[in-house]
């Protein structure tokens, strides 16, 4: 924070008054910036803001059979949703899912990043094997794990090798969500690990040497040197991972269809069934708005956390 405020006034001061003799008058900075931002801004407006606005608009109306056409109903679609058992269940499932899967994936990614940046035989090779599954699209991963999770599949073969009884995995309400978390972590952890490895490689080795001379243990170095210095990539990973986990759809649609008994009915899938299976577009749009708001709140909170940790 302090770095940017130091830099900016100096740059502005230099750009404008000290160099009057130029062939062309330089365009005002804001116009230059606007030109650079224009393509991104247009795609933002048309492909993100416009559909969100349409969803908001539609969520305030409802199709009426009596009056023929749509009528304004205010927030009735929202209040109906919060009375709806399926929606409340989807909200709860999504919350539990997020609270478990995000800390799990991020700490696994961080610990693996630390492990694979240490000197060890074949570290680069083993690291590549962890990164490998990021190439697997979620839909493909779901298709592969659908076979692994079958009663006669690879999952139960491994359990019997360890002397454990066969498990139902996807057909059990207690295990289905965890099963989906495992397949998502298989493809996710390596991806987030790459960002953290980049951050760890940025930490100057002198800092570790200094810490070693001071007699710091390996854990102390991890906690006091590595962790604070990879704050920036860690914050990025935290935001991006949380948002992407809010949008899980393919594994649910391919593997469980939200079941058994709603145990994997994440918000995205609930919206999809509401819009296309139940055909209730207005309530689906209201649910879209709720999901968008939830995500933005999380992003805002995490930006604030990032900023306060920057100031510290």
Partner 1 sequence: MIAATTQAKVTRQRTVAYLGLSVLGACIGILFLTPLWWTFVNSLRPGSDTFRYLNPLEWETFFTATPSLDNYAALLRSDLGLATLNSIIVSGITVVVGLAICSMAAFALAAIPFRGSGIVFVAVVVSFLIPFDAIAIPLANLFRDWNLQNTYAGLILPGLGNGMAIFLLRTFFLAIPKDLVEAGRLDGLGWWGIFRRIYLPLSAPSLIGAGLTLFLFQWQSYVWPLLNGTDSQHILGPIALSNMQGQFNVDYGVMFAGSMVLTLIPLAIIIAFQRYFIQSVSTTGLK
Q: Which stretch binds partner 1 (CB under 8 A): 75-83, 87-95, 111-119, 172-180?
A: 111-119
Nearer to partner 1, 222 or 243 (CB): 243
278 binds partner 1 (CB under 8 A): no
Q: Taking the complex as a whole, how short is the minimal distance between the CB of residue 177 and partner 1, in angstroms?
A: 19
Evaluate whether 179 touches 149 at the Cβ level (below 8 Å): yes
Of 64-72, 73-81, 85-93, 121-129, which part binds partner 1 (CB under 8 A)? 121-129
Check binding of 25 to partner 1 (CB under 8 A): no
Closer by beta carbon to partner 1, 92 or else 123: 123
127-146 residues in contact with partner 1 (CB under 8 A) are: 127-140, 142-146
CA distance linking residue 96 with residue 88, whole number of Å: 12
If binding is defined by CB under 8 A, does position 164 make contact with partner 1?
no
Which of 43, 79, 107, 261 is in the footprint of partner 1 by CB under 8 A? 43
Candidates 63-71, 75-83, 96-104, 294-302: pick the segment binding partner 1 (CB under 8 A).
Answer: 294-302
Kindly state whether residue 203 participates in binding partner 1, applying the rule CB under 8 A.
Answer: no
Nearer residue to partner 1 within complex by CB, 43 or 70: 43
Helix axes 85-117, 231-246, angle to 10 degrees: 150
When asked if residue 178 is in the footprint of partner 1 (CB under 8 A), the reply is no
- CA 187, 188, 191, 193 dihedral sign is negative
Q: Which stretch binds partner 1 (CB under 8 A): 81-89, 92-100, 169-177, 197-205?
A: 197-205
Tokens of 281: 């577009």
Question: Is 259 a residue that touches partner 1 (CB under 8 A)?
Answer: no
| 55 is a site residue for partner 1 (CB under 8 A) | yes
Q: How many of the chain's residues bind partner 1 (CB under 8 A)? A: 103
Residue 85: CB minimum distance to partner 1, A: 22
Q: Which stretch binds partner 1 (CB under 8 A): 92-100, 173-181, 258-266, 295-303?
A: 295-303
**Chain centroid offset of residue 14 CA:** 40
Q: What is the dihedral of CA 139, 145, 149, 150, to 10 degrees?
A: 80
Per-residue x/- track, 59-98, partner 1 (CB under 8 A): ----------------------------------------
Q: How many CB atoms lie within 10 A of CB 270?
A: 26
For position 107 contacting partner 1 by CB under 8 A, the verdict is no
Q: Is 149 in the site for partner 1 (CB under 8 A)?
A: no
């Amino acid at each position: 924070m302090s770095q940017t405020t130091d830099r900016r006034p100096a740059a502005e001061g230099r750009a404008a008054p000290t160099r009057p003799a130029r062939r062309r008058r330089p365009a005002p900075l804001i116009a230059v910036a606007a030109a650079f931002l224009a393509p991104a801004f247009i795609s933002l407006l048309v492909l993100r803001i416009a559909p969100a606005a349409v969803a908001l608009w539609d969520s305030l109306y409802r199709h009426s059979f009596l009056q023929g056409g749509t009528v304004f109903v205010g927030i009735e679609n929202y209040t109906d949703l919060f009375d709806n058992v399926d929606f409340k269940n989807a909200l709860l499932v999504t919350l539990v899912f997020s609270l478990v899967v995000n800390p799990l994936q991020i700490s696994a990614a961080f610990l693996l990043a630390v492990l694979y940046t240490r000197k060890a035989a074949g570290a680069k090779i083993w690291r590549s094997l962890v990164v490998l599954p990021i190439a697997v699209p979620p839909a493909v991963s779901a298709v592969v794990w659908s076979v692994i999770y079958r009663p006669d599949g690879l999952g139960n073969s491994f359990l019997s090798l360890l002397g454990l009884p066969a498990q139902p995995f996807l057909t059990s309400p207690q295990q289905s969500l965890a099963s989906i978390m495992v397949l998502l972590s298989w493809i996710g952890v390596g991806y987030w690990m790459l960002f953290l490895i980049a951050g760890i490689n940025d930490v100057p080795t002198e800092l570790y040497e200094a810490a070693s001379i001071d007699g710091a243990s390996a854990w102390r170095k991890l906690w006091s040197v590595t962790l604070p210095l990879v704050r920036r990539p860690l914050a990025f990973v935290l935001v991006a991972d949380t948002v992407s986990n809010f949008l899980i759809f393919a594994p649910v649609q391919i593997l469980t269809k939200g079941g058994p008994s709603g145990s994997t009915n994440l918000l995205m899938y609930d919206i999809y069934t509401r819009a296309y299976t139940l055909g209730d577009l207005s309530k689906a749009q209201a649910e879209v708005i709720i999901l968008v708001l939830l995500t933005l709140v999380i992003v805002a909170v995490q930006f604030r956390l990032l900023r306060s940790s920057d100031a510290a």
